[in-house]
Structure 1
Amino acid sequence: MQLPSTKLYQRLHCQLFHWRTTRDIIKQHIATAFLHLQNEISDVLVTHSTSNEKLEESQLQTAMEKSKIKVSQGCIDLLQEFRHLIDGNTELLVKLKDLIIDWVQEGFQDFFQKLDGHFHLLSGRSTGFSQESSTVDFVQIDKVPTVLVLMLAQLCVFIEQTTIPKVTEDLADSFSGGGARSSEYGPPFVPGEICRLYRSSGEKFLQHYINIKTQKISKLLNKRFSTPVWLKHKEPREVNMFVDLLLLEFNGVVSEVKQILPGLIRRHRHSDSTGSTTSSRSNPMREDMLNRSNTNRSRSQFLENHLAKLFEQKMEIFTKLEYTQESVISTVLKLCLKSLQEFVRLQTFNRSGFQQIQLDMEFLKSSLKEFIDDEAAISFLLKEVNNAAHERCLDPIPLEAPILDKLINAKLAKIKEQSANM
């Protein structure tokens, strides 16, 4: 075999060097572009979500929209930039076209996976994208900006339902072909796999948000119920201050959810919840409690518990969690009321302490109607809290309906006066 001349060999070597250099530069350029977009998305999310969460409504809504735009427009811009590479007329770019197509498709697959992992880190999760939902550890809840967690949940939905289909369509139009990738590795971009990843992550973020909010409120309730001596509680003269704290925290949840999640909160307006409190609202509780006495307490308690269980079997308290305002708000409230029920069960009440719980639950019943969609379930849980206090009371004689209404009306009048002075 005749060896090539030194000049020809040097020329071929120079061309090979330039081909490899150009290939490496383009590959690195594509990888850097994806990393830059991930950092831009992260900056938008972090900048517009603060740990104190004291953002005005317009600011939070703007942050959510900016995040969506940054993801969608960022991907579109990358596709346009990469399209210039495969449309190039230079000899090297033409030769590298199949490789570039594979790199772009691989790049989007890797980008969406890494972005998902970055979302988990931002939310306080110590692991990246994972198929295991039950073994994920969390950082300290107090350090997690809960607004950011809720934004991530909604952003995952947007990526799954809007961004991935758009990217898939554009890749099919302008970046089909390729083939430089070995067949043993499978297709470079698998949209179904990415959609499943973001669907799973979105559900985890939404549940994580609910867990954070519920635990925060539960801590306040636990402190409130473990501090006083309920056996020495004085006769109730007004709704307890813990009710104001609970409503304040719950209003914070409502404010965040309304700005980020879709769906209108249906405002309930019933004849028994407009204007003042009437005795018809208190009659069911009054009739139920006045029928009890110390002599037949055991029999009545057995019957009450039996009826409650039958009622609970027919009522589905915790429905499937959805990405709507109603679903998230109702779930947080239901979990908080279940926690409240457990805290009550740990205490022992005198008559006045039991009456205080009765008053507080009746006031919450009317106050929470405008926020929730599942009114029957919330009413049932409030009654369960009251029943728990009845079971733990040494002398469970309830407040009479006129007194109960008078105290609730006084609280409503006080709230109305405070709102007028603000």
Structure 2
Amino acid sequence: MATEAAPMDEKAKRMRDLLSSFYAPDPSISTGASSTHASFDNINSTSFNADQYMDLLIKKSNLEGLLQRHVHMAAQIKNLDTDLQMLVYENYNKFISATDTIKRMKSNIVGMEGNMGQLLQKIMSVQSRSDGVNTSLFEKREHIEKLHRTRNLLRKVQFIYDLPARLQKCIKSEVYADAVRFYTGAMPIFKLYGETSFQDCKRASEEAIEIIIKRLQARLFSDSESIQSRAEAAVLLKRLDVPVDSLKARLLEKLEQSLDDLQIKPEEASKLMEHTDSSKNGESSDPHPAKVHEDAVREFSEAMHAYRVIFPDSEEKLFKLARALTAMQFENVEQYIKKRVSASCFLGISKLIWADVVLMDEVLPEAALSDFAAEAAQSTFKQFVARSFSHLQQDISDTLLKVNVDQKEAVEEEVLHSVVEASKKAVLQGSMNILQDFHQLLEENTGILVKMRDLIIGWVREGFQNFFRSLEALFLVLSGKTSSPNEAEGLAEGKPSDKVHAGFILVLAQLSVFIEQMVIPRITEDIAASFSAGGGAQGLADGPGFIPGELSRVFHSASEKLLQHYINTRTQRISLLLRKRFKTPNWVKHKEPREVHMFVDLFLQELGAIGKEVKQILPQGTFRKHRRSDSNGSNTTTSSRSNPLQHDRITRSNSQRARSQLFETHLAKLFKQKVEIFTKVEFTQESVVTTILKLSLKSLQEYVRMQTFNRSGFQQIQLDIQFLRSPLKETAEDEAAVDFLLDEVIVAASERCFDAVPLEPPILDKLIQSKLAKSKEHSTVSS
């Protein structure tokens, strides 16, 4: 670019500004005033100084930067040249096209003026000929129109002469509507010429109309006639100017009496749905009850329309009738759903009632029956949702209460396992069936269901929340954990017995775990997929909504409570056995032990029954034996069985010294060995059995502390405990804790003994082997 811009004349400057304002991307270059504010390095500016720009560029950039700038500017120049060339080509094509268009217009216009002149001449010629034709045909047209009027008049005269015969035919065929139409059409002529030309016709017609009026009045007052027929008779009488206002109350009374016949009674609803199903299957040839009901409602709607036409000031009374019928229909449905009703039956009845509403709404649109029906149906639909959950809860309760068998039968016949599986199926499958039923309601596009969709979603979410909370309360009531039945009012028809089956409590605990881990997540997933759009917020306005986290915590807590309740129940039973064992004999005068006491067998039988119960219900856990180990490796604290036998053979003369050594030995063991007795109970067979065993041994220790023993009594306790040691350690998961608790029993017995001298090892082993032999013989005979 040159250092100074060449002077330009005014025209060239103005053209450049116009082109710049149209094509320039920067609006600032399109005005002359903006050039004063443009930066000196803006190449597109009119005030651009090339020398100043180059000096600044050389100062700021090195050689490599200058070369890159050169390449960049060369590319921009090339792009601008290309754009300019394309712009020229495009504008050139437009100029060529415009030139061609102008040429074609010029060639087409040539000769148009002559054609217009010829067209005008032809139009004038057509107009003159048309005027000639009209002039020549004027007289004939007038004559034809006169003949046509005469012909119409003759037809009317002939109709008047034929009217009596026509009315007689209508009387014979009982087509009274046509007769009234014919007579009212002839009334203007009779008023003008009835006393002169058509006197005989008028008299005959009036006699026929008198007969028709009497028959219409008879039909209007006849109870055997339908409402529609009576309404048509009233309309025809009104057209004949017969006063019918006195019939207003009586006709309205007839409409009110017909409401009872139009209602769908609860007992009729079941038959109606059964007949509908059989008709669909082709099993019934009788008229469709739904079609009969629809025809009756349609007749009632037409009667209301006729009544409204006859008595225009009676709209409010008709509105009340229609609303009363709608309200009674939904009230009857509420009575119908008190018993168990499937979703398809409820849906069929709802659609039938809505069809009735649509029919009446067409006749009485001002009554807004659709909105009224939607409001009236809210209570019905809400009750259906609530009763669906109530029926499901009753099914679950019935399934659980089937375990009314003896404890021994329940254990041996594995009834508990079948009850658990049946209960799981009842809860999960029942919940999914309810969801399917509600899906069926939401998938319908019937008007009332579209209006109720959001409310149904909210009720379903709230219903599941209340259902699971009520189910948890029911479990506590059935287990005997909750003493007051008011906490589960209306949940189960049967009340739990005073002595609840212990295995039944374990069934409820396992079912609570299943609901927490399987049912609630499954229901949550389905509700999130189908019962959240549009209905969640509105449903939460009337209730708590569905909160799966809270329900999971509720059933987690319930499962722990029920499991602990089962453990307490079983422990109390064993505790009663131990109490009877230690309260009965006189331990101060106890005789020398000859055999293991029979309470040991009873104790092991109880543990065996518990093991069979938990195997039917609870899963098997990771069975890790926690064996006992000594912290100091000394031989003085190895086990309860060997500790008393590690003493030297103590004679009866030094019994006091032996007892002191026994005390010192077990006291040292308490400080040297740390054994965790009670741990958290898990939902496994081993954990539950071990916990019950620990609690039982702890009770045994406490009963021992409450007695005073002589030497023989102490030795009897030693013998019984030593016999129990092996089977109990095999049963329990935590051998160390069981071994420790057995040692504690012996220590407690020694502390409460006057002369704690243990049995000799050979005698102890002999008595134990004798008991084992008898047990083996007894088991052989039993098998």
What range describes the TM-score normalised by the shorter chain of this pair? 0.7 to 0.9
| 1:327-351 C-alpha deviation (Å, 9 max, x unpaired) | 1101111111111111111111111
**Aligned counterpart, 2:760:** 400
Q: 1:54: which partner in 2?
A: 409
Which of 29, 35, 38 is matched with 2:393 structurally? Answer: 38
- Do the aligned partners of residues 339 and 140 (structure 1) sit closer, same or farther apart at CA in structure 2, a change above 3 Å counting? farther
Matched, 1:158 2:514: yes
1:286 and 2:665 correspond:
no
Q: 1:53 to 1:144 in 2, by over 3 A?
A: farther
Aligned-residue sequence identity (percent) comes to: 51
Residue 718 (structure 2) pairs with residue 363 (structure 1)? no
Tell whether the 8 Å contact from 1:156 to 1:198 is kept in structure 2 after alignment: yes
**Higher helix fraction (1 or 2):** 2
1:28–1:366 Cα change, 3 Å: same
Question: Any conservation in 2 of the 1:116–1:129 contact (CA below 8 Å)?
Answer: no
Deviation at 1:369, TM superposition (A): 2.5
TM-score normalised to structure 2 length = 0.48
The equivalent of 2:83 in structure 1 is none
**Deviation digits for residues 257-306 of structure 1, max 9, x if unmatched?**
111111159598x9xxxxxxxxx995443115868954546753553353
What is the distance in 1 between the residues matched to 2:617 and 2:645? 41
Q: Is the 8 A contact 1:354 1:390 kept in 2?
A: yes
Pick the aligned partner of 2:451 from 95, 113, 131.
Answer: 95
Secondary structure of 1:332 counterpart:
helix
- Aligned partner (choices 110, 113, 118) of residue 469 of structure 2: 113
Matched, 1:81 2:437: yes
Alignment of 1:302-313 (within 5 A): 303-311=664-672
Q: Which residue of 2 aligns with 1:343?
A: 703
Aligned to 1:248: 605
The number of aligned residues is 399
Question: RMSD of the alignment, in Å?
Answer: 2.8
Residue 13 of structure 1: how far off its partner (Å) = 4.1
Partner SS state of residue 390, structure 1: helix
- Retained in 1: the 8 A contact 2:663–2:747? no
1:277 maps to which residue?
none
Match of 1:273 in 2: none
Q: Cα distance 1:284–1:144, how it changes in 2: closer, same or farther (>3 A)?
A: same
CA contact (8 A) 2:477 2:496 kept: no
Cα pair 1:258 1:325 within 8 Å, conserved: yes
| Counterpart residue identity of residue 384, structure 2 | H
Taking structure 1 as the reference length, what is the TM-score of the superposition? 0.87
**Aligned with 1:243: secondary structure?**
helix
Cα deviation per residue 1:54-100 (whole Å; 9 max; x = unaligned)? Answer: 22343221111111111010111000000011110101111111111
CA distance in structure 2 between the aligned counterparts of 1:47 and 1:287, rounded to whole angstroms: 56
Does the aligned pair in 2 maintain the 1:341–1:388 contact within 8 Å? Answer: yes
Deviation at 1:234, TM superposition (A): 1.2
Closer/same/farther in 2, CA of residues 192 and 322 from structure 1, 3 Å limit: same
Where do residues 235-274 of structure 1 align in structure 2 (5 Å cutoff)? 235-263=592-620, 266=623
Alignment deviations for residues 24-78 of structure 1 (CA, whole Å, 9 cap, x no partner):
2221111111000001001111102536452234322111111111101011100
1:321 touches 1:331 (CA, 8 Å); kept in 2? Answer: yes
Q: Partner of 2:756: helix, strand, or coil? A: coil
Are the equivalent residues in 1 in contact too, given 2:582–2:704 (CA < 8 A)?
yes
- For residues 316-335 of structure 1, the aligned pairs below 5 Å read 316-335=676-695
Displacement of 1:311: 4.8
Measured after TM superposition, the shift of residue 249 of structure 1 is 1.3
The aligned residue for residue 576 of structure 2 is 219
Q: Assess if the C-alpha contact under 8 Å between 2:475 and 2:508 holds in 1.
A: yes
2: CA distance between counterparts of 1:87 and 1:418? Answer: 68
Q: Could you tell me which of 535, 549, 552 is aligned with 1:195?
A: 552
3-state DSSP of counterpart to 2:377? helix
Q: Secondary structure at the match of 1:181?
A: helix
Alpha-carbon distance in 2 for matches of 1:129, 1:330:
35
User: Equivalent residue for 1:374?
Assistant: 734
| 1:29 aligned residue | 384
Task: State whether residues 650 and 658 of structure 2, in contact with CA within 8 Å, keep that contact through their aligned partners in structure 1.
Answer: no
- SS in structure 1 opposite 2:414? helix
Query: Partner amino acid for 1:76?
Result: M
For structure 2, list consecutive stretches of 5 or more residues without a partner in the other structure.
1-314, 320-360, 488-494, 628-638
Of 172, 178, 183 in structure 1, the residue corresponding to residue 528 of structure 2 is 172
Q: Which residue of 1 aligns with 2:265?
A: none
> CA contact under 8 A between 1:236 and 1:355: conserved in structure 2?
yes
| Equivalent residue runs for 1:411-422 within 5 Å | 411-422=771-782
**Worse overlay, 280-289 or 186-195:** 280-289
Shift of 1:211: 0.6
Residues 374 and 451, structure 2, Cα contact 8 Å, conserved in 1: no
Q: Structure 1, residues 186-239: CA drift from partner, whole Å, max 9, x if none? A: 861000000000000110000001111111111111111011011111111110
Which residue matches 1:205?
A: 562
Find the residue that maps to 1:263 and give its secondary structure: coil
CA separation in 1, counterparts of 2:594 and 2:576?
Answer: 25
Q: Deviations over 1:330-380 (max 9, x none)?
A: 111111111111111111111111111000000000122221111111111
* Residues 146, 209 of structure 1: 8 Å contact kept: yes
Q: Which moved more, 1:174-183 or 1:196-205?
A: 174-183
Give the CA deviation at 1:112.
Answer: 0.3
Deviates more, 1:173-182 or 1:93-102: 173-182
Tell me: CA distance 1:356–1:141, structure 2 relative to 1, closer, same or farther (3 Å). farther
- Using the alignment, how far apart are the partners of 2:776 and 2:473 within structure 1? 48
2:374 to 8, 19, 44: 19
The 2-side partners of 1:140 and 1:14 are apart by 49
* TM superposition shift of 1:412: 0.7
The SS at the match of 2:565 is helix
Q: In the superposition, relative to structure 1, how do residues 289 and 123 fare at CA in structure 2: closer, same or farther (>3 Å)?
A: farther
8 Å CA contact 1:121–1:127 kept in 2: the answer is yes
Residues 53 and 34 of structure 1, relative CA distance in 2, 3 Å threshold: farther
Unaligned 5+ runs, structure 1: 131-138, 271-279
**Using a 3 Å threshold, how does the CA distance of structure 1 residues 118 and 186 change in structure 2: closer, same or farther?**
closer
State whether residues 53 and 147 of structure 1, in contact with CA within 8 Å, keep that contact through their aligned partners in structure 2.
no
Bigger RCO (CA 8 Å, 6+ sep) = 1
12 and 257 in structure 1: CA distance in 2 versus 1, 3 angstrom threshold: same
Q: Distance in 1 between matches of 2:371 and 2:609?
A: 63
Residues 261 and 311 (structure 1 numbering): CA distance in 2 closer, same or farther, change over 3 Å?
farther
**C-alpha contact (below 8 Å) 1:286/1:401 kept by paired residues:** yes
Instruction: Provide the residue aligned with 1:232 in structure 2.
Output: 589
Residue aligned with 1:368, SS: helix
> Using the alignment, how far apart are the partners of 1:183 and 1:255 within structure 2?
46
Cα 1:255–1:289 change in 2 (3 A) is farther
Aligned partner letter, 1:62: S
Aligned to 2:64: none
Q: 1:392 to 1:142 in 2, by over 3 A?
A: farther
